[in-house]
Structures are given as structure tokens and as C-alpha cells.
Amino acid sequence: MAKYIKKKITMCINNVEKGGAEKQFLYIYDYLKNHYEVNIILTNKKGIKNLDKNIKKKITVGFINYFFFVLNKKPDVVLFFLPKTYILFGLISLIFPKLKKIMFRRSLNYYQSNFIIKYLEVFLHKFTQLICSNSLAAKKELIDNEKVSDEKIFILKNFIDNEKYKESTELKINKKCLNFLCTSNFIDYKGHKLILETFNNLKTKLNWRIYFLGKKSNFNFNLIKSIAKKYNFDHKVFHINGLSSNIKYPNFKFGLLFSKNESFPNAILEYLKLNLDVIAYNTGDIKRLMKNEGLIFSTRNAQKIAMKMDTYLVKKRKKIKTLQLNKIIHPYQNKKLFLILKNKIDSLCVD
């Protein structure tokens, strides 16, 4: 009987320092390694030290090493995550015409102001067999703005694990305050300034606090504090360095997401897992995901958002709210989500 040989898959991303794309990257790796021989190639070493030793063995770093890896190991399919990786490794991949390629689009791309990067992405689409988006909104943008055919695109929704959070003895949250959590990378377009401007316009008499979650190395948190100081509430703004399965925030009530470029954000899934009410800007598939739950607004005007929030915050949370939020998140905790990706990879590997 002939020996079964696993197909070889190479996954490429900038690094594994955890943001939304990186989390999904590792979820996908964890699934695919059960079906294929999977290797990882990064552009830099950020985040590697935090990984399991078995994953570390599968990692190669650098664009030159990518060239020699493809030349010598001859993978069947390569997966590109994030624009920088797509352009850098995608251009090198043109040297290998037999190599099958899948690009993952994880956000709306209209924020990309660099014409050269935009042009290179559209150019590479012509040589990429499949493009995976995580929302209908991103798919529509690919078709309308980047002229990708509908047949080339498939949708893989974001996944989130169902591990239970545990109590943390390190983090103390004031139970007497109305506590808001904002978990997103400290990048300008994520809307942190708009959050502060909105809270400056709130009329509520409730005592509130905002906890911004993210790595300080990626953003100058002093800027957040200085803006908050201008509004005379810098004492209500705090920083949290990380969110993991070892930490629970039992006294948070609301999750904030004011970014205007999200496609299908991890932050929303994390808020649902934490059983938080969601207050978010209506972009990507957020409204479709949330159905009729939470406060989803379509304006970037801080005063108008504040008016909506003032009305929303006085509403008493219904007893069935937890059940409703669990119903929303449950389909995204099922690993059957990844079957569509496996089927697409298999279709490219047909001899």
C-alpha cells in the first residue's frame, strides 16, 4: 500500500506579536497542522519567544530564507497574511509559477493611502489563486475596488476559542464604577481619540472609567493620557498590557470599538466571550454579527455618539442578555469553520 504523503503548506505573516490577525493566524495553524505538513515564515522575530516550543520548530525568519525555503522544500500552497507579507513574499513567489497561493484580507483596505502598495496588491491578485476574506464587506471591497472576480474569493469567519477565563489576583477593577474595556492595537485609525472625545461629551452622572488594552511598545499611551488630561478626566483612563485566558475582567460592563476599518473584528468576539455589551462603530460585518444587540452607530461625530450612549447606558440590562450574547458567539467557537479553508487548499493540491 502506497504511503500517504501530507501536502506541504507554508504560512506567512509579519510576526506573531499578538494582534487580531496574529491570533487568527495561530488558530488556523493549530487546525491545519492536523491535516498537512505546515511551516511558518515571518519577516521578523517579534512574539516568537511567547510561543510553544513545537511551533517554534516550524518557524523560519526573513525574506531571503523564504526564497531558499520555497526553492528547497517545495511547498504545495503558501498562505499570505497582512499586506506587507503579501507584497514581500508574494513578489518572490512569482519566481515559482507552480506554487499555489492564497491571500488573506483581514480588514477593509481603503485606509491604505500608499498608492504603490495598493498597486502591488492589485498586481499580485492576478497571480494569486484564491483570496480569503473574513467578511462580506471585505469581499465586496475586493470585487468593487480591486477588481477581483467573485469566484476567486471565499469567506472564512473569525474563530475564538471557548476556554474559560479564570479570576486574576493581579488586576483590580473598581466595582463601583461603570467600567469600559477597549481592546485594539494602538494605531491611529483604531479611533482611540474619538473615544475620548465622545466621553468628553457624555452627560451621564454615572462614575465611569476606560481601560485601554494593548502593548505600550506599539503606541505612545502618554498621548491618550494627555488628551484625557485636556478633558479633565485623565484620572479615569487606564492602561492594561494584555488579555489572555488566564485573566478575567469580571467588573467590566461594556466593550468599545470605534475603529473605522474593521472587517470582522476579534475585539467584538472577545467582548462577547467576556459577556460585555458592545458599543461599536458600524463598519465591516459588525452590525450583521451583532444582529440587534449592543449599540452600533454609523456616525463619526463625537457629540452624536455621546447622545446615543447616554440613552443606551441608562437602560437596564435584561436577564436574558447573557443567553443572547452566547447565541451570537457560539457559531464562531466551532472549528468546523475551518473546513472551508481545508477544502479550498485541497482543491489547489489536486495533481
User: Residue 322: what pLDDT?
Assistant: 77
List, in order, residues 6 or more apart from 232 with CB less than 8 Å away: none
Q: Is residue 334's pLDDT more than 70?
A: yes
Sign of CA dihedral 200, 259, 329, 40: negative
Positive or negative CA dihedral for 216, 218, 223, 224?
negative
pLDDT at residue 340 tops 80: yes
Is pLDDT at 100 greater than 70 in this prediction? yes
Q: Domain boundaries in the chain?
A: 8-156, 178-332
CB 96 within 8 A of CB 76: no
Confidence (pLDDT) at 217: 60
User: Mean of the pLDDT values across residues 161-185?
Assistant: 73
pLDDT at 216: 61
Residue of 84 and 163 predicted with greater confidence: 84
pLDDT, average across residues 184-194: 76
Encode pLDDT of 235-291 as tens digits.
Answer: 999 887 655 444 445 578 899 999 888 888 888 998 998 888 999 999 889 988 998
CB atoms within 10 A of CB 293: 15
314: pLDDT strictly greater than 60: yes
Higher-pLDDT residue of 44 and 116 is 44
> Is 93:70 a contact under the CB 8 Å cutoff?
yes
Q: Please compute the mean of the pLDDT values over residues 106-129 and round it to a whole number.
A: 81
Question: Is the distance from CB of 33 to CB of 63 less than 8 angstroms?
Answer: no
Average confidence (pLDDT) over 294-302: 94
107: which DSSP letter? B
The predicted structure's pLDDT at residue 112: 57
> What is the architecture of the domain spanning 178-332?
3-Layer(aba) Sandwich (3.40)
Q: Tell me, what's the pLDDT at 34?
A: 94
Q: Do domains 8-156 and 178-332 have the same CATH topology?
A: yes
254: nearest Cα among 297, 210, 214: 210
62: left (phi over 0), alpha (psi -120 to 50) or beta: left
Q: Are 262 and 108 in contact (CB under 8 A)?
A: yes
Q: Which helix (H) or strand (E) holds 223?
A: helix 221-230
Residue 246: per-residue pLDDT: 44
Indicate the pLDDT class of residue 348, thresholds 50, 70 and 90.
Answer: very high
**Whether the predicted model's global pTM rises above the 0.85 cut:** yes
Give 326's pLDDT tier (boundaries 50, 70, 90).
confident
Q: Which of 84-93, 131-140, 168-177, 219-228 has the lowest mean pLDDT?
A: 168-177
Fold for 8-156, please state it: Rossmann fold (3.40.50)
Mean pLDDT, residues 112-122: 79
